């Protein structure tokens, strides 16, 4: 293409605000009938039988939805099944020799597991877990990077009916201890280390530090990822993964029959109080929902090679690396490393090598790809791609169009998906073969999902006006409660817009949004005190607690500010105690304190020292002003502040 033709194409894309799916995609899509929205609406909630039909049930369910005790909804009540059997056993006859997991290590090493091989590995580890005392309903914590033993462990736990609680490997030792204590988990599966940018990282030491903070005895299984490079001694109550599995070579374990409402896993997510919330997902509703959304939105077919370039330590990896794809019998790709090691074309190299059909990644990554330039994807044949997706945060129209042109070659529909840890799976997005795509707008609610944008009174806003996303009907993938905390579950998610007198319960996800005349919803961001860094939700209270934990810091406020690559970055405003001075050393101490307490993902982008914080007369920090300062924007109303003069002082200091 000549420079002039390329310029004309760029101009056309810049002006275009809606895109139709290619006819070639529509012709082969799993879901292409526009009537699906009306069909789901007319037959709700029985419409969700379509999701349940994607699974094998040991006992049929009695009813689709039990809504007697709102908001403690139950799905597919009376039904019995096993998630591990649905992801493995039922595929053996037709797809036993086909690849289930294709793993790529950061150093270029690869491992491939057919469904038969994965079934054997999962069975052997399930037998090993039982041998160390793990029983049905015991919570097993996993603190592991992107290595195959993580999904093997998840499926082994599901096989024996033991819920798993995966802790992101980048989180700190304290975060691990907090989550193990909250779940009362007596078992940990971890590894010696892993690779980042070619360096071997010592993960076991961090895990051991976390175990020091666990308030009860725990048995640990350690995977050897680093091999001869790693020199580590196992402590008391610590077992080597390979030796343990070898003791159970060739053993099989019958899948434990689980009730549809039995817990499949816990996932801890940041809360506004600083205490992580244990989101509980169950077997029948969750598994059917992620299978259906992977089928309908990501267009996953058994013969595909599908890649969700996320981390299993987050809900995206649970739903769309492990459970959704494997339930559908496809090949799911896992990558250990970063997208720019050893070169900035690593992702495109993987797409070309394995002939990836779908790529599902975060806007953070796409913004990085844009910054690096199209030279890198242009080095590789990306023609295998059939569909692109984004997840974790809103994507701006410019990044959407770059993705569409340079990665999809204008031939791949893009699904811009909005959902949360709590929702289990996608909620708002286009169906890729139904209707048009609007860059920057996630799209309409999925069939069967009832979402709207409302004002502070709970009334729908006019087209183009900003409001709050709400969901006024249950869905199969929804969280059932917060682990051991039903009261917090109700207060955090259901009381904001619900009317107890009429029993009209409304789920409040705490995201701001706009809606257009076509019912397409554009997500604007969080309305609570949670910062979304590269799609990872971090509670401001957790960050502020870590900052105040540094000697010499009296008070702190953390906010999210705009960042070209991360979407949001952490900005900290700190008040020092008397006798302490602003210095580079103090800044570094704060950075170290946050990193040690939470993990590198929460590392502050900027630290501003100030003698005061902007507070209302009731003493509440007005964080929105600090966000304005971080983004160098005009300040909003300061009339409600008890100390309005401090704002200009902070502005000056931030410059």
Q: Report the pLDDT averaged over residues 466-472.
A: 89
Q: Report the pLDDT averaged over residues 136-157.
A: 98
CB 385 within 8 A of CB 333: no
Lowest mean pLDDT among 12-16, 119-123, 373-377, 408-412: 12-16
> What's the pLDDT score for residue 503?
60
Band (pLDDT 50/70/90 cuts) for residue 501 is low
Q: Evaluate the CA torsion angle 275, 276, 282, 286 in order and state its sign.
A: positive
Q: Let me know if residue 333 belongs to a domain.
A: no
The domain total for the chain is: 2
Note down the domain range covering 627. 530-654
- DSSP strands (E only) in 488-599: 511-515, 521-526, 530-533, 536-539, 553-563, 567-576
Q: Report the pLDDT averaged over residues 230-240.
A: 89
Band (pLDDT 50/70/90 cuts) for residue 494 is confident
- 649 compared with 605, residue with greater pLDDT: 605
> What's the pLDDT score for residue 82?
98
Percent of the chain with pLDDT over 90: 69
> What's the pLDDT score for residue 529?
66
> What's the pLDDT score for residue 96?
98
| Longest pairwise C-alpha distance within the chain | 72
Q: Let me know if residue 590 belongs to a domain.
A: yes
> What's the pLDDT score for residue 303?
98
The secondary structure element, H or E, covering residue 509 is none
Domain boundary among 219, 237, 256: 256
Q: Let me know if residue 617 belongs to a domain.
A: yes
Instruction: Write the CA distances from 265 to 171, 373, 434, 489, integer angstroms.
Output: 19, 40, 33, 16
Supply the CATH number for residue 586's domain.
3.30.300.30
Domain boundary among 197, 232, 256: 256
> What's the pLDDT score for residue 541?
67
Q: What is the DSSP string of 356-369?
A: -SEEEE-HHHHHHH
Q: Let me know if residue 445 belongs to a domain.
A: no
Cα separation of 530 and 528, whole Å? 6
The closest of 116, 113, 50 to 88, measured between CA atoms, is: 116
Beta bridge partner(s), residue 430: none
Per-residue tokens: 578: 């008397």
Lowest mean pLDDT among 48-57, 308-317, 429-438, 466-475: 466-475
Q: Let me know if residue 577 belongs to a domain.
A: yes
Does position 617 have pLDDT exceeding 60, yes or no? no
Q: Let me know if residue 598 belongs to a domain.
A: yes
Band (pLDDT 50/70/90 cuts) for residue 375 is very high
- The pairs formed by 487-493 with CB atoms below 8 angstroms and a separation of 24 or more are 488/277, 489/71, 490/71, 492/271, 492/272, 492/277, 493/71, 493/422
pLDDT digits 0-9 by tens, 203-226: 999 999 999 999 999 999 999 999
The closest of 259, 265, 315, 320 to 284, measured between CA atoms, is: 259
Supply the CATH number for residue 159's domain.
3.40.50.980
Q: Let me know if residue 534 belongs to a domain.
A: yes
Q: Let me know if residue 643 belongs to a domain.
A: yes
The closest of 309, 290, 304, 228 to 534, measured between CA atoms, is: 309
Domain boundary among 256, 279, 301: 256
CB 345 within 8 A of CB 379: yes
pLDDT digits 0-9 by tens, 516-544: 999 999 987 766 667 888 877 677 767 88
Does position 229 have pLDDT exceeding 90, yes or no? no
């Amino acid at each position: 293409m000549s420079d002039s033709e390329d310029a004309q194409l760029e101009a056309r894309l810049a002006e275009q605000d809606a895109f139709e799916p290619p006819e070639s995609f529509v012709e082969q899509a799993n879901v292409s009938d526009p009537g699906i929205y009306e069909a789901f609406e007319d037959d709700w909630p029985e419409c969700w039988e379509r999701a349940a039909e994607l699974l094998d049930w040991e006992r049929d369910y009695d009813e689709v939805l039990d809504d007697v005790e709102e908001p403690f909804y139950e799905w597919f009540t009376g039904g019995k099944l096993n998630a591990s059997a649905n992801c493995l056993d039922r595929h053996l006859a037709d797809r036993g020799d086909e690849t289930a997991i294709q793993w790529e290590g950061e150093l270029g090493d690869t491992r491939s597991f057919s469904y038969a091989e994965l079934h054997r590995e999962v069975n052997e580890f399930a037998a090993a877990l039982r041998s160390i005392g793990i029983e049905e309903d015991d919570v097993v914590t996993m603190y592991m990077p992107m290595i195959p033993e993580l999904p093997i462990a998840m499926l082994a736990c599901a096989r024996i009916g033991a819920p798993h609680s995966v802790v992101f490997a980048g989180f700190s030792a304290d975060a691990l201890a907090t989550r193990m204590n909250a779940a009362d988990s007596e078992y940990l599966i971890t590894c010696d280390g892993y690779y980042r940018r070619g360096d071997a990282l010592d993960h076991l030491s961090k895990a051991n530090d976390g175990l020091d903070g666990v308030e009860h005895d725990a048995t640990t299984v350690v995977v050897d990822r680093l091999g001869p490079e790693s020199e580590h001694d196992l402590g008391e109550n610590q077992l080597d993964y390979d030796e343990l599995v070898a003791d159970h070579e060739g053993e099989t374990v019958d899948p434990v029959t689980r009730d549809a409402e039995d817990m499949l896993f816990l996932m801890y997510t940041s809360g506004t109080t600083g205490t992580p919330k244990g989101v509980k997902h169950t077997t029948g509703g969750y598994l059917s929902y992620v299978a259906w959304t992977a089928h309908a939105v990501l267009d996953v077919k058994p013969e595909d090679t599908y890649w969700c370039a996320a981390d299993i330590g987050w809900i995206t990896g649970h739903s769309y690396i492990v459970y959704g794809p494997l339930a559908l019998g496809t090949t799911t790709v896992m990558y250990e490393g970063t997208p720019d090691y050893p070169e900035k074309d690593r992702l495109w190299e993987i797409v070309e090598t394995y002939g990836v059909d779908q790529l599902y990644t975060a806007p953070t990554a796409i913004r990085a790809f844009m910054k690096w330039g199209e030279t890198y994807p242009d080095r590789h044949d990306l023609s295998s791609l059939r569909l692109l997706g984004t997840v974790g945060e809103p994507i701006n129209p410019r990044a959407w169009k770059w993705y569409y042109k340079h990665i999809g070659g204008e031939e791949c529909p893009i699904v811009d998906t909005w959902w949360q840890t709590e929702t289990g799976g996608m909620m708002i997005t286009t169906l890729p073969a139904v209707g048009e795509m609007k860059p920057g707008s996630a799209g309409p609610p999925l069939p069967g999902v009832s979402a709207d944008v409302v004002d502070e009174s709970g009334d729908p806003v006019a087209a183009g006006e900003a409001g709050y996303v709400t969901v006024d009907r249950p869905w199969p993938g929804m969280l059932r409660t917060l682990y051991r905390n039903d009261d917090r579950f109700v207060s955090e998610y259901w009381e904001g817009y619900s009317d107890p007198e009429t029993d009209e319960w409304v789920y409040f996800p705490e995201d701001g949004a706009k809606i257009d005349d076509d019912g397409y919803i554009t997500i604007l961001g969080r309305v609570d005190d949670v910062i979304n860094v590269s799609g990872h939700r971090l509670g401001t209270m957790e960050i502020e607690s870590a900052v105040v934990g540094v000697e010499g810091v009296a008070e702190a406020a953390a906010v999210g500010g705009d960042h070209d690559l991360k979407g949001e970055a952490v900005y900290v405003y700190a008040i020092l105690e008397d006798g302490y001075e602003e210095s580079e050393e103090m800044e570094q101490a704060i950075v170290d304190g946050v990193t040690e307490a939470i993990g590198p993902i929460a590392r502050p982008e900027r630290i501003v020292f100030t003698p005061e914080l902007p507070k209302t007369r009731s003493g509440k920090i007005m964080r929105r002003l600090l966000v304005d300062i971080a983004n160098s924007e005009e300040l909003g109303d300061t009339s409600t502040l008890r100390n309005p003069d401090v704002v200009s002082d902070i502005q000056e200091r931030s410059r």
